[in-house]
Amino acid sequence: MKKLKKEIYIFIRILICSTVFILLCNFNTVSAQGIIEKITDNLDVEPKEMVTEQIILTPSMPDSSTGIGVSWYSNTSSTASKLRISENSNMFNYIEFTGNNATATAATGKLSHKVSATDLKPNTKYYYQVGDGNLNNWSSIYSFTTGVKAGGDFTFIFVSDQQPKNQNDANTWENTLAQAMRKVPHASMVLSAGDQVDDYTGDDILQETQYTYFTQPEDLRNIALVPANGNHDNNRIAFFNHFNLPGKPSGVGAGGVEGSIYSFTMGDALFMVMNTNADLNSQITWLKSIANNSIARWKIVMMHKSLYAVANHLNDAVNDGSRNLLYPVFDELGIDLVLAGHDHSYIRTYPMKNNIRVNENIVDGYSQNPEGTIYLQTNGAANKQYDLVTNTPEYYTAKKLSGSLTGPRILYN
Protein backbone atom coordinates (compact mmCIF):
# COMPACT_ATOMS: atom_id res chain seq x y z
CA MET A 1 0.00 0.00 0.00
CA LYS A 2 1.50 3.28 -1.02
CA LYS A 3 1.38 6.01 1.55
CA LEU A 4 -0.37 9.26 0.96
CA LYS A 5 1.54 12.07 -0.59
CA LYS A 6 0.64 14.75 1.86
CA GLU A 7 1.64 17.35 -0.67
CA ILE A 8 -1.60 16.67 -2.54
CA TYR A 9 -3.71 17.56 0.45
CA ILE A 10 -1.60 20.58 1.27
CA PHE A 11 -1.92 21.71 -2.35
CA ILE A 12 -5.70 21.39 -2.15
CA ARG A 13 -5.75 23.41 1.04
CA ILE A 14 -3.62 26.09 -0.59
CA LEU A 15 -5.97 26.10 -3.56
CA ILE A 16 -8.97 26.60 -1.28
CA CYS A 17 -7.22 29.44 0.57
CA SER A 18 -6.36 31.04 -2.77
CA THR A 19 -9.98 30.82 -3.91
CA VAL A 20 -11.20 32.52 -0.75
CA PHE A 21 -8.62 35.21 -1.24
CA ILE A 22 -9.76 35.87 -4.82
CA LEU A 23 -13.39 36.12 -3.72
CA LEU A 24 -12.46 38.67 -1.08
CA CYS A 25 -10.64 40.72 -3.69
CA ASN A 26 -13.72 40.73 -5.90
CA PHE A 27 -15.88 42.00 -3.07
CA ASN A 28 -13.59 45.02 -2.81
CA THR A 29 -14.63 46.07 -6.29
CA VAL A 30 -18.35 46.11 -5.36
CA SER A 31 -19.91 49.28 -4.00
CA ALA A 32 -20.60 49.48 -0.27
CA GLN A 33 -24.32 49.28 -0.96
CA GLY A 34 -23.79 46.17 -3.06
CA ILE A 35 -21.88 44.45 -0.27
CA ILE A 36 -24.68 45.13 2.22
CA GLU A 37 -27.30 43.75 -0.15
CA LYS A 38 -25.20 40.71 -0.82
CA ILE A 39 -24.74 39.98 2.87
CA THR A 40 -28.44 40.52 3.52
CA ASP A 41 -29.31 38.12 0.75
CA ASN A 42 -27.00 35.54 2.21
CA LEU A 43 -28.64 35.83 5.59
CA ASP A 44 -32.06 35.34 4.02
CA VAL A 45 -31.33 32.20 2.06
CA GLU A 46 -28.36 30.44 3.56
CA PRO A 47 -28.07 28.71 6.91
CA LYS A 48 -24.93 29.45 8.87
CA GLU A 49 -23.51 25.97 8.31
CA MET A 50 -22.95 24.06 5.12
CA VAL A 51 -26.29 22.72 3.86
CA THR A 52 -24.96 19.65 2.09
CA GLU A 53 -22.13 17.44 3.28
CA GLN A 54 -21.00 13.83 3.02
CA ILE A 55 -22.76 13.32 -0.32
CA ILE A 56 -22.67 9.66 -1.41
CA LEU A 57 -24.04 8.03 -4.58
CA THR A 58 -25.36 4.46 -4.74
CA PRO A 59 -26.57 2.46 -7.78
CA SER A 60 -30.26 2.36 -8.51
CA MET A 61 -31.80 -0.99 -7.63
CA PRO A 62 -32.62 -3.56 -8.84
CA ASP A 63 -31.29 -2.24 -12.20
CA SER A 64 -28.33 0.12 -11.97
CA SER A 65 -28.86 1.36 -15.54
CA THR A 66 -32.11 3.17 -14.76
CA GLY A 67 -31.23 5.77 -12.12
CA ILE A 68 -29.11 6.73 -9.13
CA GLY A 69 -29.45 6.98 -5.36
CA VAL A 70 -28.05 9.97 -3.48
CA SER A 71 -27.68 10.58 0.25
CA TRP A 72 -26.23 13.46 2.24
CA TYR A 73 -26.26 15.14 5.62
CA SER A 74 -27.32 18.70 6.40
CA ASN A 75 -28.03 20.88 9.39
CA THR A 76 -31.58 20.76 10.74
CA SER A 77 -32.68 23.97 9.00
CA SER A 78 -32.55 22.20 5.65
CA THR A 79 -35.79 20.26 5.80
CA ALA A 80 -36.38 19.57 2.10
CA SER A 81 -34.56 16.86 0.16
CA LYS A 82 -34.12 17.79 -3.49
CA LEU A 83 -32.00 16.35 -6.27
CA ARG A 84 -31.55 18.12 -9.60
CA ILE A 85 -30.24 16.16 -12.57
CA SER A 86 -29.24 17.38 -16.01
CA GLU A 87 -27.33 16.08 -19.01
CA ASN A 88 -25.72 19.52 -19.27
CA SER A 89 -22.77 20.60 -17.16
CA ASN A 90 -24.47 23.96 -16.47
CA MET A 91 -27.62 22.15 -15.24
CA PHE A 92 -29.67 23.48 -18.17
CA ASN A 93 -33.02 21.67 -18.50
CA TYR A 94 -32.62 19.96 -15.15
CA ILE A 95 -35.24 17.63 -13.75
CA GLU A 96 -35.92 17.64 -10.02
CA PHE A 97 -36.57 14.70 -7.72
CA THR A 98 -37.84 14.88 -4.14
CA GLY A 99 -36.87 12.46 -1.38
CA ASN A 100 -37.08 12.37 2.37
CA ASN A 101 -35.00 13.04 5.43
CA ALA A 102 -34.72 11.86 9.00
CA THR A 103 -32.78 12.85 12.05
CA ALA A 104 -29.29 11.38 11.88
CA THR A 105 -29.51 9.59 15.18
CA ALA A 106 -26.13 10.31 16.71
CA ALA A 107 -24.94 13.26 14.65
CA THR A 108 -26.10 16.20 16.74
CA GLY A 109 -28.01 18.73 14.69
CA LYS A 110 -27.87 16.75 11.45
CA LEU A 111 -30.49 15.40 9.08
CA SER A 112 -29.91 12.43 6.78
CA HIS A 113 -31.35 13.02 3.30
CA LYS A 114 -32.05 10.43 0.61
CA VAL A 115 -33.34 10.97 -2.93
CA SER A 116 -33.61 8.44 -5.75
CA ALA A 117 -33.65 9.46 -9.41
CA THR A 118 -35.54 7.12 -11.71
CA ASP A 119 -36.20 6.66 -15.43
CA LEU A 120 -32.75 7.83 -16.46
CA LYS A 121 -30.95 6.63 -19.58
CA PRO A 122 -28.39 3.79 -19.28
CA ASN A 123 -24.65 4.40 -19.46
CA THR A 124 -25.23 8.16 -19.62
CA LYS A 125 -23.32 10.94 -17.88
CA TYR A 126 -25.52 13.19 -15.78
CA TYR A 127 -24.71 16.27 -13.72
CA TYR A 128 -26.41 16.85 -10.40
CA GLN A 129 -26.87 19.06 -7.37
CA VAL A 130 -28.50 18.27 -4.05
CA GLY A 131 -29.92 20.69 -1.55
CA ASP A 132 -32.92 22.36 -0.07
CA GLY A 133 -35.56 23.56 -2.50
CA ASN A 134 -37.12 25.75 0.18
CA LEU A 135 -33.90 27.59 0.92
CA ASN A 136 -32.80 27.55 -2.71
CA ASN A 137 -29.43 26.43 -1.49
CA TRP A 138 -27.64 23.88 -3.64
CA SER A 139 -24.45 21.91 -3.55
CA SER A 140 -21.72 22.24 -6.14
CA ILE A 141 -22.38 20.50 -9.44
CA TYR A 142 -21.07 16.92 -9.59
CA SER A 143 -21.58 14.11 -12.09
CA PHE A 144 -22.15 10.38 -12.38
CA THR A 145 -22.73 7.84 -15.12
CA THR A 146 -25.64 5.42 -14.94
CA GLY A 147 -24.94 1.68 -15.13
CA VAL A 148 -24.78 -0.24 -18.39
CA LYS A 149 -27.59 -2.45 -19.63
CA ALA A 150 -27.32 -6.20 -20.18
CA GLY A 151 -24.82 -6.87 -22.93
CA GLY A 152 -22.65 -3.87 -22.03
CA ASP A 153 -19.11 -4.04 -20.67
CA PHE A 154 -18.09 -2.26 -17.49
CA THR A 155 -15.31 -2.07 -14.91
CA PHE A 156 -15.42 -1.43 -11.19
CA ILE A 157 -13.04 -0.56 -8.35
CA PHE A 158 -12.88 -2.86 -5.33
CA VAL A 159 -11.74 -1.61 -1.89
CA SER A 160 -12.30 -2.49 1.76
CA ASP A 161 -11.57 -1.72 5.41
CA GLN A 162 -10.88 2.01 5.25
CA GLN A 163 -11.54 2.36 9.01
CA PRO A 164 -10.40 6.00 9.25
CA LYS A 165 -9.77 7.09 12.85
CA ASN A 166 -8.17 10.45 12.10
CA GLN A 167 -7.32 12.95 9.39
CA ASN A 168 -4.24 11.01 8.30
CA ASP A 169 -6.31 7.85 7.71
CA ALA A 170 -8.84 9.89 5.74
CA ASN A 171 -6.10 11.34 3.57
CA THR A 172 -4.66 7.88 2.84
CA TRP A 173 -8.10 6.59 1.87
CA GLU A 174 -8.62 9.62 -0.34
CA ASN A 175 -5.28 8.98 -2.03
CA THR A 176 -5.99 5.26 -2.51
CA LEU A 177 -9.28 6.04 -4.20
CA ALA A 178 -7.75 8.81 -6.31
CA GLN A 179 -5.07 6.44 -7.58
CA ALA A 180 -7.68 3.79 -8.38
CA MET A 181 -9.80 6.35 -10.24
CA ARG A 182 -6.77 7.41 -12.26
CA LYS A 183 -5.98 3.80 -13.14
CA VAL A 184 -9.59 2.95 -14.02
CA PRO A 185 -11.01 6.33 -15.08
CA HIS A 186 -14.16 4.86 -16.60
CA ALA A 187 -15.08 2.63 -13.67
CA SER A 188 -18.83 2.35 -13.19
CA MET A 189 -18.76 1.99 -9.41
CA VAL A 190 -16.69 1.41 -6.28
CA LEU A 191 -17.39 -1.76 -4.32
CA SER A 192 -16.40 -1.50 -0.63
CA ALA A 193 -16.41 -4.78 1.30
CA GLY A 194 -17.10 -3.31 4.73
CA ASP A 195 -15.56 -1.56 7.73
CA GLN A 196 -16.03 1.86 6.19
CA VAL A 197 -15.50 3.21 9.74
CA ASP A 198 -13.49 1.92 12.69
CA ASP A 199 -15.44 2.17 15.94
CA TYR A 200 -17.14 -1.04 17.00
CA THR A 201 -17.83 -0.18 20.63
CA GLY A 202 -21.26 1.32 20.02
CA ASP A 203 -20.04 4.91 20.29
CA ASP A 204 -22.38 6.42 17.69
CA ILE A 205 -20.99 9.94 17.99
CA LEU A 206 -17.43 8.74 17.42
CA GLN A 207 -18.63 6.69 14.47
CA GLU A 208 -20.30 9.76 12.95
CA THR A 209 -16.98 11.60 13.15
CA GLN A 210 -15.37 8.69 11.33
CA TYR A 211 -18.01 8.90 8.59
CA THR A 212 -16.87 12.46 7.95
CA TYR A 213 -13.41 10.97 7.31
CA PHE A 214 -14.79 8.14 5.18
CA THR A 215 -16.81 10.52 3.00
CA GLN A 216 -13.95 12.99 2.60
CA PRO A 217 -12.77 11.96 -0.92
CA GLU A 218 -14.28 14.26 -3.54
CA ASP A 219 -14.17 11.31 -5.94
CA LEU A 220 -17.11 9.85 -4.01
CA ARG A 221 -19.33 12.69 -5.33
CA ASN A 222 -18.83 11.40 -8.87
CA ILE A 223 -19.12 7.60 -8.77
CA ALA A 224 -21.57 5.17 -7.21
CA LEU A 225 -20.45 3.38 -4.03
CA VAL A 226 -21.58 -0.14 -3.08
CA PRO A 227 -20.90 -0.73 0.65
CA ALA A 228 -21.09 -3.95 2.64
CA ASN A 229 -21.56 -3.88 6.40
CA GLY A 230 -18.48 -4.96 8.36
CA ASN A 231 -17.88 -5.89 11.98
CA HIS A 232 -16.50 -2.41 12.65
CA ASP A 233 -19.55 -0.79 11.10
CA ASN A 234 -21.13 -2.82 13.84
CA ASN A 235 -24.68 -2.79 12.51
CA ARG A 236 -25.12 0.81 13.70
CA ILE A 237 -27.85 2.96 12.23
CA ALA A 238 -25.23 5.42 10.93
CA PHE A 239 -24.64 2.90 8.13
CA PHE A 240 -28.25 3.19 6.98
CA ASN A 241 -28.26 6.97 7.48
CA HIS A 242 -25.25 7.45 5.21
CA PHE A 243 -26.21 5.32 2.20
CA ASN A 244 -29.32 5.39 0.04
CA LEU A 245 -29.91 1.62 0.10
CA PRO A 246 -33.10 -0.44 0.32
CA GLY A 247 -34.21 -1.87 3.67
CA LYS A 248 -33.51 -5.50 4.41
CA PRO A 249 -35.71 -8.06 2.63
CA SER A 250 -38.54 -9.13 4.93
CA GLY A 251 -37.46 -11.72 7.49
CA VAL A 252 -33.84 -11.75 6.29
CA GLY A 253 -30.66 -11.04 8.27
CA ALA A 254 -31.79 -10.81 11.88
CA GLY A 255 -29.29 -8.76 13.86
CA GLY A 256 -28.22 -6.79 10.79
CA VAL A 257 -28.78 -3.10 10.15
CA GLU A 258 -31.20 -1.91 7.47
CA GLY A 259 -29.56 -1.40 4.08
CA SER A 260 -26.98 -4.15 4.55
CA ILE A 261 -28.55 -6.90 2.38
CA TYR A 262 -29.42 -6.04 -1.22
CA SER A 263 -28.84 -6.90 -4.86
CA PHE A 264 -28.73 -5.19 -8.24
CA THR A 265 -27.66 -5.79 -11.81
CA MET A 266 -24.94 -4.07 -13.81
CA GLY A 267 -24.53 -5.21 -17.42
CA ASP A 268 -24.59 -9.00 -17.48
CA ALA A 269 -23.68 -9.29 -13.78
CA LEU A 270 -25.84 -9.78 -10.71
CA PHE A 271 -24.33 -8.34 -7.51
CA MET A 272 -25.56 -9.66 -4.16
CA VAL A 273 -24.37 -7.99 -0.94
CA MET A 274 -24.54 -10.00 2.28
CA ASN A 275 -24.03 -9.00 5.93
CA THR A 276 -21.66 -11.35 7.77
CA ASN A 277 -22.66 -9.76 11.09
CA ALA A 278 -26.26 -10.91 10.68
CA ASP A 279 -28.07 -14.25 10.58
CA LEU A 280 -26.67 -16.19 7.62
CA ASN A 281 -29.29 -18.94 7.22
CA SER A 282 -32.04 -16.51 6.22
CA GLN A 283 -29.56 -14.78 3.89
CA ILE A 284 -28.86 -18.13 2.20
CA THR A 285 -32.59 -18.51 1.48
CA TRP A 286 -32.66 -14.95 0.10
CA LEU A 287 -29.51 -15.52 -1.95
CA LYS A 288 -30.99 -18.61 -3.56
CA SER A 289 -34.21 -16.83 -4.48
CA ILE A 290 -32.34 -13.90 -6.03
CA ALA A 291 -29.72 -15.96 -7.90
CA ASN A 292 -32.13 -18.63 -9.15
CA ASN A 293 -34.52 -16.00 -10.54
CA SER A 294 -31.82 -14.09 -12.38
CA ILE A 295 -30.78 -14.57 -15.99
CA ALA A 296 -27.52 -12.66 -15.40
CA ARG A 297 -24.51 -14.40 -16.90
CA TRP A 298 -22.23 -13.56 -13.99
CA LYS A 299 -23.13 -13.88 -10.33
CA ILE A 300 -21.04 -11.98 -7.80
CA VAL A 301 -21.33 -11.94 -3.99
CA MET A 302 -19.75 -9.31 -1.75
CA MET A 303 -19.53 -9.72 2.02
CA HIS A 304 -17.16 -8.55 4.71
CA LYS A 305 -15.59 -11.71 6.17
CA SER A 306 -13.76 -13.91 3.70
CA LEU A 307 -14.12 -17.70 3.58
CA TYR A 308 -10.49 -18.04 2.50
CA ALA A 309 -8.04 -15.77 4.32
CA VAL A 310 -4.27 -15.56 4.62
CA ALA A 311 -3.46 -13.15 7.47
CA ASN A 312 -4.85 -12.44 10.96
CA HIS A 313 -8.17 -14.11 10.13
CA LEU A 314 -6.62 -17.18 8.47
CA ASN A 315 -8.68 -19.75 10.36
CA ASP A 316 -11.76 -17.71 11.30
CA ALA A 317 -14.08 -19.15 8.64
CA VAL A 318 -13.15 -22.69 9.67
CA ASN A 319 -13.53 -21.98 13.37
CA ASP A 320 -16.87 -20.16 13.10
CA GLY A 321 -18.29 -22.63 10.56
CA SER A 322 -19.01 -20.03 7.87
CA ARG A 323 -16.81 -21.74 5.24
CA ASN A 324 -18.65 -25.05 5.52
CA LEU A 325 -21.99 -23.26 5.66
CA LEU A 326 -21.52 -21.03 2.62
CA TYR A 327 -19.28 -22.72 0.04
CA PRO A 328 -21.88 -25.41 -0.82
CA VAL A 329 -24.39 -22.62 -1.43
CA PHE A 330 -22.02 -20.71 -3.70
CA ASP A 331 -21.26 -23.98 -5.52
CA GLU A 332 -24.96 -24.74 -5.97
CA LEU A 333 -25.77 -21.26 -7.29
CA GLY A 334 -22.76 -21.07 -9.61
CA ILE A 335 -21.38 -17.95 -7.97
CA ASP A 336 -18.45 -16.80 -10.11
CA LEU A 337 -16.77 -14.39 -7.72
CA VAL A 338 -16.92 -13.71 -3.98
CA LEU A 339 -15.46 -10.36 -2.89
CA ALA A 340 -14.46 -9.82 0.73
CA GLY A 341 -12.18 -7.89 3.08
CA HIS A 342 -11.62 -8.07 6.85
CA ASP A 343 -8.18 -9.73 6.56
CA HIS A 344 -6.33 -6.52 5.51
CA SER A 345 -4.22 -8.36 2.92
CA TYR A 346 -4.70 -9.63 -0.62
CA ILE A 347 -5.61 -13.08 -1.84
CA ARG A 348 -7.02 -14.55 -5.03
CA THR A 349 -7.96 -18.19 -4.72
CA TYR A 350 -7.99 -20.76 -7.43
CA PRO A 351 -11.47 -21.50 -8.70
CA MET A 352 -12.91 -23.58 -5.85
CA LYS A 353 -15.63 -26.21 -5.89
CA ASN A 354 -16.54 -28.46 -3.00
CA ASN A 355 -13.73 -26.70 -1.12
CA ILE A 356 -11.22 -28.12 -3.59
CA ARG A 357 -9.15 -26.36 -6.24
CA VAL A 358 -10.39 -26.90 -9.78
CA ASN A 359 -8.53 -26.26 -13.00
CA GLU A 360 -8.68 -22.90 -14.72
CA ASN A 361 -7.70 -21.63 -18.12
CA ILE A 362 -5.83 -18.34 -17.91
CA VAL A 363 -5.42 -16.30 -21.08
CA ASP A 364 -3.55 -12.98 -21.00
CA GLY A 365 -3.84 -13.00 -17.21
CA TYR A 366 -7.61 -13.51 -17.16
CA SER A 367 -9.31 -16.64 -15.89
CA GLN A 368 -11.64 -17.84 -18.65
CA ASN A 369 -15.11 -18.65 -17.31
CA PRO A 370 -13.83 -20.97 -14.54
CA GLU A 371 -15.89 -23.91 -13.38
CA GLY A 372 -15.59 -22.94 -9.73
CA THR A 373 -15.89 -19.85 -7.55
CA ILE A 374 -12.96 -17.43 -7.24
CA TYR A 375 -12.62 -15.76 -3.83
CA LEU A 376 -10.97 -12.35 -3.96
CA GLN A 377 -10.03 -10.51 -0.79
CA THR A 378 -8.57 -7.03 -0.88
CA ASN A 379 -6.25 -5.14 1.43
CA GLY A 380 -7.29 -2.29 3.73
CA ALA A 381 -7.66 0.93 1.72
CA ALA A 382 -6.15 3.23 4.37
CA ASN A 383 -3.58 2.66 7.11
CA LYS A 384 -4.47 -0.67 8.71
CA GLN A 385 -2.81 -3.75 7.17
CA TYR A 386 -1.90 -7.25 8.40
CA ASP A 387 1.01 -9.60 7.69
CA LEU A 388 0.60 -13.02 6.10
CA VAL A 389 0.62 -15.88 8.60
CA THR A 390 2.88 -17.99 6.39
CA ASN A 391 4.77 -17.53 3.16
CA THR A 392 3.78 -20.96 1.93
CA PRO A 393 0.61 -21.13 -0.14
CA GLU A 394 -2.55 -22.58 1.35
CA TYR A 395 -4.37 -25.23 -0.69
CA TYR A 396 -6.63 -22.52 -2.10
CA THR A 397 -4.09 -19.73 -2.65
CA ALA A 398 -3.32 -18.78 -6.24
CA LYS A 399 -1.78 -15.46 -5.23
CA LYS A 400 -1.41 -13.58 -1.98
CA LEU A 401 0.16 -10.34 -0.88
CA SER A 402 0.90 -9.11 2.61
CA GLY A 403 -1.12 -6.09 3.58
CA SER A 404 1.82 -4.48 5.39
CA LEU A 405 5.26 -3.64 4.15
CA THR A 406 6.96 -5.97 6.65
CA GLY A 407 5.61 -9.43 5.83
CA PRO A 408 6.22 -11.67 2.81
CA ARG A 409 5.31 -9.58 -0.16
CA ILE A 410 4.00 -11.76 -2.93
CA LEU A 411 3.62 -15.36 -3.93
CA TYR A 412 2.55 -17.12 -7.09
CA ASN A 413 1.77 -20.76 -7.31
What does the binding site for Fe ion look like in residue numbers (CB under 5 A)? 195, 230-231, 342
Measured from the CB atom, the residue of 236 and 342 that comes closer to Fe ion is 342
- We find the least distance from the C-beta atom of residue 172 to Fe ion, in angstroms, to be 17
- 291 CB contacts (<8 Å, ≥6 apart)? 270, 272, 299, 333, 334, 335
Measured from the CB atom, the residue of 174 and 195 that comes closer to Fe ion is 195
- We find the least distance from the C-beta atom of residue 236 to Fe ion, in angstroms, to be 14
- We find the least distance from the C-beta atom of residue 14 to Fe ion, in angstroms, to be 36
Identify the CA nearest to 141 among candidates 123, 129, 130, 124.
129
Between CA 349 and CA 356, with CA 350 as vertex, the angle to 5 degrees is: 105
Measured from the CB atom, the residue of 59 and 341 that comes closer to Fe ion is 341
Identify the CA nearest to 206 among candidates 111, 106, 109.
106
For the purposes of burial, counting CB atoms within 10 Å of the CB of 51, is it exposed (0-12), middle (13-18) or buried (19 or more)? Answer: buried
Identify the CA nearest to 229 among candidates 253, 193, 271.
193
Measured from the CB atom, the residue of 161 and 174 that comes closer to Fe ion is 161
Measured from the CB atom, the residue of 299 and 342 that comes closer to Fe ion is 342
Measured from the CB atom, the residue of 242 and 342 that comes closer to Fe ion is 342
- We find the least distance from the C-beta atom of residue 270 to Fe ion, in angstroms, to be 25
For the purposes of burial, counting CB atoms within 10 Å of the CB of 110, is it exposed (0-12), middle (13-18) or buried (19 or more)? Answer: buried
- We find the least distance from the C-beta atom of residue 339 to Fe ion, in angstroms, to be 14
- We find the least distance from the C-beta atom of residue 379 to Fe ion, in angstroms, to be 12
Q: How far is CA 354 from the centre of its chain?
A: 31
Measured from the CB atom, the residue of 65 and 379 that comes closer to Fe ion is 379
- We find the least distance from the C-beta atom of residue 231 to Fe ion, in angstroms, to be 5
Any idea what DSSP says for residue 374? E
Measured from the CB atom, the residue of 59 and 230 that comes closer to Fe ion is 230
Measured from the CB atom, the residue of 143 and 231 that comes closer to Fe ion is 231
Could you write out the DSSP letters of every residue in 176-231? Answer: HHHHHHHHSTT--EEEE-S-SS---SS-HHHHHHHHHHHT--GGGGSSEEEEPP-T
Measured from the CB atom, the residue of 145 and 377 that comes closer to Fe ion is 377
Identify the CA nearest to 100 among candidates 124, 127, 70.
70
How far are the Cα atoms of 60, 117, 118 from residue 57, in angstroms, in the given order? 9, 11, 14
In degrees rounded to 5, what are phi and psi of residue 337? -145, 135
Looking at the chain, the number of H-run helices and the number of E-run strands are 8, 24
For the purposes of burial, counting CB atoms within 10 Å of the CB of 248, is it exposed (0-12), middle (13-18) or buried (19 or more)? Answer: buried
Q: Would you say 395 and 362 are in contact if contact means Cβ atoms under 8 Å apart?
A: no
- We find the least distance from the C-beta atom of residue 195 to Fe ion, in angstroms, to be 4
Residue nearest to Fe ion (CB): 342
Residue 45 CA to residue 26 CA, distance in Å, equals 21
Measured from the CB atom, the residue of 113 and 242 that comes closer to Fe ion is 242
- We find the least distance from the C-beta atom of residue 304 to Fe ion, in angstroms, to be 6
